[in-house]
Amino acid sequence: MSSELFSSDRDTFLSLNRFTGVDSSILAGFTVKDGGTSKDPYASLNMGLHVQDVREDVVANRRLCAAEAGISLENWVFADQVHGKRIVKAGQKERGSGAFHYDQAILEADGLYTNQTGLVLALAYADCVPIFFYEKKAKLIGIAHAGWKGSVLNIGGEMIAAWLEAEGASLENIHAAIGPSIGPCCYKVDDSVISKVNKLFNHHEELPWVETEPGQYRLDLKKLNAALLKKAGLSDNQISVSGLCTCCEKDLFFSHRRDAGRTGRMIGFIGLKEEDS
């Protein structure tokens, strides 16, 4: 669809044209599942080093993506994701963290941001919500990983707060894009999750779920995160949402839920190009 945020103009990833189209210095995308070297059940462009795949195959896959993106893998930064809300600012000393070895990733972080050029921030996904951020005047970029746990911890709001408090960002200049993730069409949860979601909303507010049977709900993680970004101060025109469901789009994406936990990972990534690139 013409309104979709991501375009399939590359072999290894979909470009986030909602950002790259308005600022040519931004490199941002979300990888697909095919075109790599990994074997079943990780076939073939698995980007996750933590899923029992052959490390050399994953690194080869990452190099393919990095080459197509135009910034070598040595300049990419990965995190050890724990479904939390910790945000880390990455700089020159973090360059290459976790790119080749999982135990060298930034520890216990589900959000990364930077103002450094030539650095690419990357997080892994297989149904959870990728949230991409940029602040055009301060030249800040960031990415967050929001499963249901990170969502109810409001990791998107944590990113915005960090930029406002530590980086002097202007709220009106922050833009967020919610990328491909599992949709309410495929994501069913129980009361234990919904009770935590409900605590984030007032009685008069629209809730991001529909009850399908007693104790079972279809939860819209994208809608939940968009609502929390608005609570953090962003307006509707500062938030964009992809229509792609990682579980439905079986030819495009790995899905933890669809594939019963044995599957690969995509990565969402964002970087600022060097001025002469």
pLDDT at 275: 76
What pTM was estimated for this model as a whole? 0.97
The values of phi and psi at residue 97, to 5°, are: -60, 125
Q: Where are the domains of the chain?
A: 6-182+238-272
pLDDT at 276: 57
Strand order in the sheet with 266-272: 6-7, 13-16, 26-31, 266-272, 120-125, 76-78
Where helices occur in the chain by DSSP H, the ranges are 17-20, 55-69, 148-152, 155-166, 191-198, 221-231
pLDDT at 2: 42
Average pLDDT, the chain: 96
6-182+238-272, which class in CATH?
alpha beta
What is the residue-wise DSSP string for 160-180?
HHHHHHHS---GGGEEEEE-S
Q: Residues in the chain with pLDDT < 70?
A: 1-2, 276-277
What confidence tens digit (pLDDT) does each residue in 215-228 have? 999 999 999 999 99
Distances (CA, A) of 34 to 14, 132, 222, 261: 12, 23, 24, 18
How many angstroms from the chain centroid is the CA of residue 23? 19
* Four-CA torsion 249, 143, 92, 85, nearest 10 degrees: -120
Which tokens belong to 201? 């909303």
Residues 6+ apart with CB under 8 A from 224: 151, 197, 200, 208
Task: Check: CB of residue 193 under 8 Å from CB of residue 148.
Answer: yes
Residues 6+ apart with CB under 8 A from 128: 145, 146, 147, 150, 181, 182, 221
Helix axes 155-166, 221-231, angle to 10 degrees: 30
Report the candidate in 123, 119, 172, 161 with the shortest Cα–Cα distance to residue 141: 119
What confidence tens digit (pLDDT) does each residue in 61-110 have? 999 999 999 999 999 999 999 999 999 999 999 999 999 999 999 999 99
How far is Cα 123 from Cα 28, in angstroms, rounded to an integer?
12
